[in-house]
A and B are shown apart, each in its own frame.
Chain A
Amino acid sequence: MNRRLVIPALVAGLLLTSACTDNTAATGDARTLTVNASDTECNVSAAEAPSGTLTFKVTNDGSKINEFYLLADDGLRIVAEIENIGPGLSRDLVLTAPAGNYFTACKPGMVGDGIRGGFTVTDSGEDVGPKGEDAELVAEADAQYASYVRDQVDQLLVKTQTFADLVKARDDDAARALYADARVHWERVETVAESFGDLDPQMDAREADLEAGDEFTGWHRLEKDLWPARAEGYTPMTDEERAAVADRLVADTNTLYDRTRDMTFTASDIANGAKGLLDEVATGKVTGEEEYWSRTDLWDFQANVDGAKVAWEGLRPLLQRKDEALDSQIGQAFADLQTLLDKHRSGDGFVTYDQLSASDVKELADSVNTLSEPLSKMAGVILS
């Protein structure tokens, strides 16, 4: 569950495309260029630069929102871009450019072809790697990740339906046995599910996530009824209450199913989704807060890690090309974390959270940090 409840249902993939950072590269460096963009002009400090990592420091001196592009020699293909530069604001575009002919373009007001100028990247002899196949690799990563999301939501829908039937039939032993297993599919794609701000609070809110007047529904409402041992003075749900919550959960899962059929993902979405899943582990699962009643946090933990690993694997061809060392650091950290998690396996699943010692939890948390830190760098590397 995401702690912010109602966000606009923006589909992941709408906003994120370019790599821009706020670093302060030394000026006077031939690879650092300034761009003064007004409503009528686009002044780039130089028309050429040596191949390598280039930084365009773009300042919008005009009165309209501006954009800055580096276009390939066909004038069509976008090599890199920054969007939404408000009047008076500055932003850096950092990218790795091989030798070749390009165009720079400012687009005040975000309309038209932009104010263009020729731009040449000379061969510095520095190895900047092949660039041409990036788009293809991103498309492959998108296709692979979108298919993973669809598949997980497929399985989630089937198991949620079964779970709902068991809850309504008061077959509580069977419902408890299925609970964590069904939720695995939610947790594997949690950052995608959370991007639907209307569904997330209905399906995955914990009781503390609500305020007076909010209805407590979804997975954790049923979790509490199935594992009331830690609930003081708890009144069990009636058959009608159970049916209402279970039916709504199934209906919401159907909505999630529909919405995930034709989702697409940019490389940035996938990379930041992986980072987001590890954030979920760090703030909710490793602390045992997510599954307060059932104590099945380690199932969710594993599922978040699964989802992050799939995202990384999809991006690996791209990442390996850009930064082999980072890729292997991430790979090692995934392997080490998995070794630790495997220590707590029991039967088809895991031990419950209350069976972990303080040092077990610390060991897991440290391992999550060891993985999260390099994983958080993946998006910036891939997009540079």
Chain B
Amino acid sequence: MSDLSRRGLFGAVGVGGAAAGALVLAAAGSASPSSKEETVSDAYPYFGVHQGGIVTPAQDRMHFAAFDTAPGLDRDALIGLLRDWTDAASRMTQGGSAGELDAMSGSYDAPPEDTGEAYDLPPSGLTITFGFGPGLFLDAAGADRFGIAARRPAALERLPHFVADNLDPNLSDGDLCIQACAHDPQVAVHAIRNLTRIAFGRAVLRWSQLGFGRTSSTSVDQATPRNLFGFKDGTMGLRAEQTDLIDAHVWVQAGADPAADWLVGGSYMVARKIKMQIETWDRAPMREQENIVGRTKREGAPLSGGVEFDQPDFTLEGRGGVPVMDVASHVAIAHPDHNDGVQMLRRGYNYVDGNDQLGRLSAGLFFIAFVTDPRTHYIPMQSRLSRNDLMMEYLQHIGSGLWAVPPGVTEGEFVGQALFA
């Protein structure tokens, strides 16, 4: 049994679900100082109705990766890849290893199946979320390489060019994507590294992103975190507990797109790498910063008054009859009231990729949102934001991608299996 886990101590944890974390602690009898409560939630079940990493309480760290399928990959080989990825993900999320053998086992003359850097680490809340990009259905030459073009969701198209987009093709798109989130960055990196290794010859890494510090909350139990502008971010975002709203705004519903019924119970993932001009932002007066956001920096309360979770009053006029909430403030433009009531589940992360050649931090927000349909729930709002948001003075979108996220996996299945049925 011990060969089936990240390390022998994790024993029979396998793919057991939420209780697995508790088993880990009991089995290990370890000197870990972490509280029992933390450990219980330390592993999220891999199998379920929806993939993990969407309504899962946002972990603090992320490693995201987008892949291109290898030339010559055929339908059966793609299915093989998805099955291998699924098996590895089901093990790693429970604290196990990427391969069937753990990192320290196997033939002395062979490289270990698992790379080993997470060998001593607990599951750390790891979730692994897979997505399918437009290129999987029709490649750049218009070829239906995997016989699935007829089942392409109508909404799964490359996002349009928004005002002031400055996208780097090397930070955009991809036939497949994987979002790995965990409390421990090494656990998230271990997941992406091993899934990348498993894919060699079938899919190659196109671009990837490390994120630290969640910039949104996906549970009412989580405090609103701050982005690199120093403001609370995602106050208005959907929470897992709002199940009716999650159904309406996040999951793809039956009948929404008959050709793509395989996506029911799934979602769409929008990723945008948004560079922040933090050096110039830091020189902006507090007055300008709060006016741009539409909230106080300290509390996150709307400038029209109240506390963080109070609704802004866009009609409240201040001196000179000018609305206290600037009509072009970020909150005003992104608010559901100004976007036909649509909402999104945000799951973004702060990032700093070192610095550029001019000595400026390469920093920003790796925006991730899960929505039921990007045509109604993302594109119109982003179009307005890119055009009108006062904050755009300090932002530049440099990477972009859209993926269909299949529903959850039942034990024995592979992710997205219904697409190939």
Is B395 close to A, CB under 8 A? yes
Q: Are A89 and B388 in contact, with the CB atoms below 8 A?
A: no
- Residues on A with C-beta less than 8 A from B285 are 272, 379-380
Interface size, chain B (Cβ < 8 Å): 53
Name, among B283, B301, B392, the residue most crowded by chain A CB atoms within 10 Å (CB to CB).
B283
Q: How far is the CA of A109 from the CA of B317 in the complex (A)?
A: 10
- Residues on A with C-beta less than 8 A from B319 are 67, 83-84, 110
Interface flags, B42-63, vs A, CB<8A=1, else 0: 0000000000000000000000
- Residues on B with C-beta less than 8 A from A211 are 160-163, 165, 383, 386-387
Instruction: Indicate which residue in B163, B277, B360 contacts A214 across the interface (CB closer than 8 Å).
Output: B163
Instruction: Indicate which residue in A86, A212, A358, A380 contacts B160 across the interface (CB closer than 8 Å).
Output: A212
Give how many A-B residue pairs fall within 8 Å (CB-CB).
131
Is A15 close to B, CB under 8 A? yes
Instruction: Indicate which residue in A83, A208, A275, A365 contacts B164 across the interface (CB closer than 8 Å).
Output: A208
Q: Are A282 and B280 in contact, with the CB atoms below 8 A?
A: yes
Q: How far is the CA of A361 from the CA of B358 in the complex (A)?
A: 8
Instruction: Indicate which residue in A20, A60, A210 contacts B287 across the interface (CB closer than 8 Å).
Output: A20
Interface flags, A18-37, vs B, CB<8A=1, else 0: 00111000000000000000
Would you give the shortest CB distance from B389 to chain A, in whole angstroms? Answer: 6
Instruction: Indicate which residue in B279, B291, B306 contacts A282 across the interface (CB closer than 8 Å).
Output: B279
Would you give the shortest CB distance from A294 to chain B, in whole angstroms? Answer: 19
Tell me which of A147-155, A226-234, A258-266, A366-374 binds B.
A366-374
- Residues on B with C-beta less than 8 A from A88 are 301, 305-307, 310
Q: Are B165 and A84 in contact, with the CB atoms below 8 A?
A: no
- Residues on B with C-beta less than 8 A from A212 are 160-161
Q: How far is the CA of A22 from the CA of B392 in the complex (A)?
A: 24
- Residues on B with C-beta less than 8 A from A272 are 285, 288
Query: With contacts A15-B322, A88-B307 known, is A3 near B359, CB below 8 A?
Result: no
Is B328 close to A, CB under 8 A? yes
- Residues on B with C-beta less than 8 A from A2 are 393
Q: How far is the CA of A3 from the CA of B395 in the complex (A)?
A: 8
Interface size, chain A (Cβ < 8 Å): 50
Q: How far is the CA of A70 from the CA of B163 in the complex (A)?
A: 44
Interface residues of B in 117-162 (CB under 8 A from A): 160-162
Query: With contacts A86-B302, A89-B303, A373-B283 known, is A8 near B386, CB below 8 A?
Result: no
Is B254 close to A, CB under 8 A? no
Would you give the shortest CB distance from B179 to chain A, in whole angstroms? Answer: 27
**Looking across the interface, which residue of chain B has its beta carbon closest to that of A23?**
B286
- Residues on A with C-beta less than 8 A from B298 are 22, 90
Would you give the shortest CB distance from A169 to chain B, in whole angstroms? Answer: 33
**Looking across the interface, which residue of chain A has its beta carbon closest to that of B285?**
A379
- Residues on A with C-beta less than 8 A from B33 are none
- Residues on A with C-beta less than 8 A from B284 are 275, 376
Is A87 close to B, CB under 8 A? yes
Is A287 close to B, CB under 8 A? yes
- Residues on B with C-beta less than 8 A from A209 are 163-164
Is A14 close to B, CB under 8 A? yes
Is B341 close to A, CB under 8 A? no
Interface flags, B267-292, vs A, CB<8A=1, else 0: 00000000001011001111110010
Q: How far is the CA of A225 from the CA of B310 in the complex (A)?
A: 51
- Residues on A with C-beta less than 8 A from B304 are 86-87
Q: Are A372 and B283 in contact, with the CB atoms below 8 A?
A: yes
Would you give the shortest CB distance from A232 to chain B, in whole angstroms? Answer: 14
Would you give the shortest CB distance from B400 to chain A, in whole angstroms? Answer: 13
- Residues on B with C-beta less than 8 A from A375 are 283
Would you give the shortest CB distance from B281 to chain A, in whole angstroms? Answer: 9
Is B32 close to A, CB under 8 A? no
Q: How far is the CA of A3 from the CA of B317 in the complex (A)?
A: 27
Is B297 close to A, CB under 8 A? yes
Is B198 close to A, CB under 8 A? no
- Residues on B with C-beta less than 8 A from A362 are 357-359
Q: Are B387 and A87 in contact, with the CB atoms below 8 A?
A: no
Q: Are B359 and A86 in contact, with the CB atoms below 8 A?
A: no
Is B327 close to A, CB under 8 A? yes
Given contacts A3-B395, A275-B284, A282-B277, 4 further A-B contacts (CB under 8 A): A15-B322, A84-B318, A283-B277, A372-B280
Q: What are 19 inter-chain pairs, A to B, with CB distance below 8 A?
A: A4-B388, A5-B387, A15-B291, A65-B305, A65-B317, A65-B324, A84-B324, A86-B304, A87-B305, A88-B305, A89-B301, A89-B306, A90-B298, A210-B163, A272-B285, A279-B280, A279-B393, A287-B358, A366-B359
